[in-house]
Chain A
């Protein structure tokens, strides 16, 4: 077994016993990158030199102080997480050469835990997309089928984990951008509760929905990463000073007697039959582990997409106003006056999807339209949140498909934004409600494409999700298949 294909906990064991070193692991990962990155294109920026130096330091640290939570483990960062001294592009031309003078809080926390950073992964521009095709740096390919998308917006992180180009990765999830690519690439992806992981240093898309989370090869690794990145941050006002439990303690507890809600609104026409079959199979698996499944209703589900496509663009149009060519990033040199500089910079600096959402958001907030759009959407959002509160009064977790279909072909939906938006139909409500969700692999289609199942829980119930997901993982015996690259 190659080192790059192992999990964090397996590698930590080997590092602890001295069976391997971080330098060996890191070299293995970069060897893998050299072999497959030309096909997968998961990264925007590779950090090979600093990674090897960090690995060497980690090996010294292990000998001197013993092993930390992530000492010597190669981890990839979605290129939306600011990294001190390393360019952070957000997949956009407008930030093509932006080098932050600060680390995101999650990056600081990973650094402190001893992680080795492999690089910055590709993503849809400003996290706006479900396929990683809107990146200024070109599309990432799904390691399971290079003609298909890896999902998005964190497609680079999902593909890198699936292809063995890192051991684990961080992504961000505004409407499904961790869970959807995790499902389509056959890895575990968690979106924590809004306020659980600091957003400081996460380039903002939609501030009330954005949340950073881990991509890992299994649920145990998810718990290990959550232990490092979760927690209150005084630099973020919406960060919640709620105590963080040791998520590893939830791993082997079982789910005997749990009640699982199956929302009837999530098994709809248009869902791929193979996906539906795989997800129905998970119901039988968790029942086999001693859980009871009941039908629940989330009656405002049909409004989720509409609400999301008002709230998220409204916040985005304001968040992206700072990219004006004045202070940093790309500036068009053609402008003869201030207004022209703004217009030409933003016209050339942003891609089509970003422009579309800036325009939608600007419209939704405009004088005379605010009440009909943004205000109304905020009101419906409260109802969506209430749906979940009521449902969680009846069940411990909710089980749904993560995506309606397996990975689609590159270019298949780029000309039809509505079709693209629909691929997040099962993940968007989680962000609107602010609750945590996790996508776990639950099988393969006949064509060999991975399928994911999504588990949801109430606010700050990440421990419960990890307990449920790990019990499922154990019971399901999903075939340990790897993409052939």
Chain B
């Protein structure tokens, strides 16, 4: 029997608002424990929540980017359960009336594109964190994270493989980062993913019994956990057993999923509308205001880059992976007097190649690049007009990165200007041929590999400044001419 996985993902994205969702405390990560707190987020008696409207706007940005219908009215509900990191004994979330529904995104797969449905997006508050003392039987509660705004994005069960899940996750991650509403940091927990996975007989409609997977804190772990879980369920079903409806935790070290709690042990959250908050009304004017501010989304940008700059899909993908890379690229291209495909491709090569490598080594992104976009454009121009060779440019770009100086200045300072004087080069080449009769003989006997040796010798003799094309031409002529 052939099984088909059915996967739906629930993503929690922490929003980059300055303040928490229901109080004025800072939502920044990394402060000393319990310093970003007030009576409201500490859940003290008698205090009340007031909704931060920025959170609604960030949610609307994501809803619009994922083609959701934004409901005119939504409300908050209490999700009741006891845990020390939840100071009120309930989480303020949304339940029966979510703000956004019926959306979709298009993900890029090896075999083309696939549309994956978004069931709903809703807003909620994050819980705090527990820290367990390894040496003493004590636990500590840090409530800085309590009340940090989250959106939960629930997908339709449209995903059919671990790879598709990873692609969908990357797609949403990219959109959130593009919208500048989430920093997308999976390790710090600002982008979290739970998965519902079941198997069914391929070609049949009804879903199998699902397991919910938690604790996958990287893209790779999501894919690994799903791959494991699919195999596990397949093994169970093929052995004539039944999958149990339960929550399972991914164990990164062991590479397996463990049962955490069964359906019977599941909480009854006793959802009901939060009487401390009034319904949120989102009118068309507000939606239009947000729509006007929407940036170009990654997929749109990718397609435009391919169209406008005529660069390959791969280049467009790398250049649009983050908004910073994309805008660096566009600024570079804009620095050329005229846009031509050759220069656009050259810009892509320098940016995705040498520059990105150097930035990655320094753990910097393109907004912190010591080389400004126009300097990359200048570099490409002086290669193009023959002032320096591509090989020289490799050294120049390193120097640009180190010193922040423009390429023209570096070339002048180091006397790097390419030798294009044919007469002078002819002399140099002749001298080299004279000194190496053995290699000349080899070449003339048909061993063309030796050609590279001559190029190397000429470069060495000229300190790397010789115009490579010219050397090439001269060597070919002079090696052949005397035959």
Interface residues of A (CB under 8 A from B): 80-82, 88, 90, 95, 98, 100-102, 104, 199-204, 206-208, 234-238, 314-315, 317-318, 320-322, 324, 326-328, 338, 342, 362, 365-367, 370, 374
- What 7 A-B pairs are tightest by C-beta distance, nearest first? A321-B89, A208-B275, A365-B270, A207-B275, A203-B45, A203-B46, A201-B46
Contacting residues, chain A, for B43 (C-beta < 8 A): 322, 327
Tell me, rounded to whole Å, the shortest Cβ–Cβ distance linking B23 to chain A: 9
Number of A-B pairs, beta carbon distance below 8 Å: 102
Contacting residues, chain A, for B441 (C-beta < 8 A): none
Contact between A327 and B276 (Cβ–Cβ < 8 Å)?
no
- CB-nearest residue of chain B to A92: B45
Cβ contact of B48, chosen from A236, A315, A318, cutoff 8 A? A236
Contacting residues, chain A, for B275 (C-beta < 8 A): 206-208, 238, 315
Task: State A143–B168 Cα separation when bound (angstroms).
Answer: 71
Contact between A362 and B270 (Cβ–Cβ < 8 Å)?
yes
Query: Does any Cβ of A come within 8 Å of B78's Cβ?
Result: yes
Query: Does any Cβ of A come within 8 Å of B286's Cβ?
Result: no
Cβ contact of A237, chosen from B49, B80, B87, B90, cutoff 8 A? B49
Task: State A98–B44 Cα separation when bound (angstroms).
Answer: 10
Task: State A365–B90 Cα separation when bound (angstroms).
Answer: 13
Query: Does any Cβ of A come within 8 Å of B42's Cβ?
Result: yes
Contact between B276 and A237 (Cβ–Cβ < 8 Å)?
yes
Task: State A172–B51 Cα separation when bound (angstroms).
Answer: 25
Cβ contact of B277, chosen from A202, A204, A237, A314, cutoff 8 A? A237
Cβ contact of B45, chosen from A90, A237, A324, cutoff 8 A? A90
User: Count the B residues whose beta carbon is within 8 Å of the partner chain — how many?
Assistant: 28
Q: Which of B29-64 contact A (CB under 8 A)?
A: 39, 42-51
Task: State A367–B268 Cα separation when bound (angstroms).
Answer: 6
Contact between B272 and A322 (Cβ–Cβ < 8 Å)?
no
Classify the secondary structure of B's interface with A.
loop
- Contacts A318-B272, A327-B87, A370-B272 given; indicate if A237 touches B39 (C-beta within 8 A): no
Tell me, rounded to whole Å, the shortest Cβ–Cβ distance linking A219 to chain B: 29
Tell me, rounded to whole Å, the shortest Cβ–Cβ distance linking B83 to chain A: 8
Task: State A236–B50 Cα separation when bound (angstroms).
Answer: 6
Contacting residues, chain B, for A320 (C-beta < 8 A): 89
Query: Does any Cβ of A come within 8 Å of B370's Cβ?
Result: no
Contact between A322 and B268 (Cβ–Cβ < 8 Å)?
no
Known: A88-B46, A237-B48. 16 other contacts (CB 8 A): A98-B45, A102-B47, A104-B46, A203-B46, A235-B48, A235-B50, A237-B49, A237-B50, A318-B80, A321-B80, A326-B84, A338-B84, A362-B270, A365-B271, A370-B271, A374-B272
Task: State A206–B276 Cα separation when bound (angstroms).
Answer: 10
Cβ contact of B89, chosen from A98, A208, A322, A365, cutoff 8 A? A322
Contacting residues, chain A, for B87 (C-beta < 8 A): 322, 326-327
Contacting residues, chain A, for B80 (C-beta < 8 A): 317-318, 321, 365
- Contacts A102-B47, A328-B44 given; indicate if A366 touches B82 (C-beta within 8 A): no
- Contacts A318-B78, A342-B82 given; indicate if A324 touches B46 (C-beta within 8 A): no
Contacting residues, chain B, for A206 (C-beta < 8 A): 275
Task: State A341–B263 Cα separation when bound (angstroms).
Answer: 25
Tell me, rounded to whole Å, the shortest Cβ–Cβ distance linking B7 to chain A: 26
Contact between B39 and A100 (Cβ–Cβ < 8 Å)?
yes
- CB-nearest residue of chain A to B273: A378
Cβ contact of B39, chosen from A101, A199, A207, cutoff 8 A? A101
- CB-nearest residue of chain A to B43: A322
Contact between A202 and B46 (Cβ–Cβ < 8 Å)?
yes
- CB-nearest residue of chain A to B268: A367
Query: Does any Cβ of A come within 8 Å of B278's Cβ?
Result: yes
Contacting residues, chain B, for A328 (C-beta < 8 A): 44
Contact between B89 and A100 (Cβ–Cβ < 8 Å)?
no
- CB-nearest residue of chain A to B267: A367
Query: Does any Cβ of A come within 8 Å of B433's Cβ?
Result: no
- CB-nearest residue of chain B to A208: B275
Contact between B45 and A200 (Cβ–Cβ < 8 Å)?
no
Task: State A204–B88 Cα separation when bound (angstroms).
Answer: 12
Q: List 13 A-B contacts (CB under 8 A).
A: A202-B46, A207-B275, A236-B48, A315-B275, A318-B78, A320-B89, A321-B80, A321-B90, A322-B43, A324-B84, A326-B87, A327-B42, A327-B141
Contacting residues, chain A, for B50 (C-beta < 8 A): 234-237
Task: State A237–B52 Cα separation when bound (angstroms).
Answer: 11
Contact between B272 and A365 (Cβ–Cβ < 8 Å)?
yes
Tell me, rounded to whole Å, the shortest Cβ–Cβ distance linking B186 to chain A: 28
Contacting residues, chain A, for B272 (C-beta < 8 A): 314-315, 318, 365, 370, 374
Tell me which of A237, A362, A365, A370 has the highest count of chain B C-beta atoms within 10 A of its own C-beta.
Answer: A237
